[in-house]
Structure 1
Amino acid sequence: MTRAKGPTFRVPFRRRREKKTNYGKRLGLVKGGMPRMVVRKSNRYVTVQFVEFKPDGDRTLNIVSGKTLEKQFKWPSKRNSWSAYLAGLYAGRQAAKNGVKEFVLDIGMQTPSKGSVLFAALQGAVDAGLKTNFDGEKVPSDKLSNPPDAIKALFDETKKKILGG
């Protein structure tokens, strides 16, 4: 980090210093006026939230994480592409019930790499019936359509439960 040299040294906002918020990107997302699908990944979980902007603070419409899938659907894994897809699918279904028809993807400060869990969650929300302005070239569609034999039956059963109920 550079040292302060003189009276005109400008300190960045705290959340920018912590590498949590890109305010330029956030302003663009907020100006769009559509709800945001916020996808975050930690060391243990993938979390999908639908958030809409309010002047007095953002309002979270719903939250789905790997832990939610584990509790409600007995899904064993919490942070892989299939978990992210199911979390996006479930969050998309709940958001559709709350009146969301289209959204904008918000991945924050994470790097958008082809085939990542971020885009698996996006594909889940699109499969839930929501619309977005994303072309889908970075979505791991071949991986999502062919889960390993060990979890294929459970994946299909969980997907059917989410879409059916």
Structure 2
Amino acid sequence: MKQGPNYKLKQRRRREGKTNYYRRYTYVVSGVDRLVVRFTNKAILVSLQKFDPKGDLTVASASSFELAKKYGWKGDLNNSTAAYLTGFLLGKRAIKAGVKEAVLDIGNRVPAKGSRLFIATKGVIDSGLTVPMNLEVDEGRLRGEHVAKYAEMLEQQDPERFKRVFSKYFERGLNPKDLPSHFKEVLNKLSEASE
């Protein structure tokens, strides 16, 4: 079958839906380091990437797995609270590496107000790194107050379901009702460790 003289095959990563080359081009032309926030089923990965013709260079990175291993985090590793703490940790590392500003690279994600993507970015901004954004994030949500309220309500209404739903929290030694105070404790550790 003839395709014609004007037929042009798109790049493989574009066909697979992995890379938006126009958006990437705008990041490269800006000359500013990219703040990359990505999610897996189990964790949150945040990194600061510098463009290089041979391939992007990682200036600093942080993973929510580190929160549990190094800083005593007992909550979930992929919720909004962990996203904020991971972003805060990356911001402190980036500042130590001499980076002062970055631009958010959302990849192919659709931006949604209040999502973990923006909560992680809020953590980076609160650490002292400049990211040009106007963020409206629910402060109570990033501290885990919504989880604590739900746990309290569930414990009163159905104690068996409460134990079943939050079984992973209890295995890690954390009562879900104490999540906001545990968040403050880990945030203080992150602030002290990076000073």
Length-normalised TM-score, structure 1? 0.90
Once residues 100 and 121 of structure 2 are traced to their aligned partners in structure 1, the CA distance between those partners, rounded to angstroms, is: 14
Q: How many residues align?
A: 162
Partner of 2:68: 70
Once residues 162 and 49 of structure 1 are traced to their aligned partners in structure 2, the CA distance between those partners, rounded to angstroms, is: 17
Equivalence map 1:123-142=2 (5 Å):
123-137=122-136, 139-142=137-140
Equivalence map 1:24-103=2 (5 Å):
24-76=22-74, 77-103=76-102
Provide the secondary structure at the position in 2 that maps to 1:114: coil
Structure 1 position 150 matched with structure 2 position 178: yes
Identity across matched positions, percent: 40
Distance of aligned partners of 1:9 and 1:94 in 2 relative to their CA distance in 1, 3 Å threshold: same
1:26-60 per-residue CA deviation (whole Å, 9 max, x = no partner) reads: 11111111111100112222110011112222110
Instruction: Provide the aligned C-alpha RMSD in A.
Output: 1.7
Moved over 6 A (4+): none
Once residues 19 and 10 of structure 2 are traced to their aligned partners in structure 1, the CA distance between those partners, rounded to angstroms, is: 11
Structure 1 position 163 matched with structure 2 position 162: no
Question: Which structure carries more helix by proportion?
Answer: 2
Once residues 7 and 53 of structure 2 are traced to their aligned partners in structure 1, the CA distance between those partners, rounded to angstroms, is: 30
Structure 1, 21-30 or 142-151: larger mean CA deviation = 142-151
Once residues 43 and 143 of structure 2 are traced to their aligned partners in structure 1, the CA distance between those partners, rounded to angstroms, is: 22
Once residues 16 and 122 of structure 2 are traced to their aligned partners in structure 1, the CA distance between those partners, rounded to angstroms, is: 29
Q: Is the 8 A contact 2:81 2:144 kept in 1?
A: no
Provide the secondary structure at the position in 1 that maps to 2:104: strand
Amino acid of the structure 2 residue aligned with 1:104? V
Structure 1, 7-16 or 80-89: larger mean CA deviation = 7-16
How far has the Cα of 1:132 moved from its partner?
1.6
Provide the secondary structure at the position in 1 that maps to 2:8: coil
Provide the secondary structure at the position in 2 that maps to 1:16: helix
Partner of 2:105: 106
Once residues 4 and 161 of structure 1 are traced to their aligned partners in structure 2, the CA distance between those partners, rounded to angstroms, is: 64
Length-normalised TM-score, structure 2? 0.77
Distance of aligned partners of 1:159 and 1:31 in 2 relative to their CA distance in 1, 3 Å threshold: same
* Greater radius of gyration (CA): 2
Structure 1, 98-107 or 56-65: larger mean CA deviation = 56-65
Q: Is the 8 A contact 1:37 1:104 kept in 2?
A: yes
Partner of 2:114: 115
Amino acid of the structure 1 residue aligned with 2:116? V
Gaps in structure 1 of 5+ consecutive residues: none
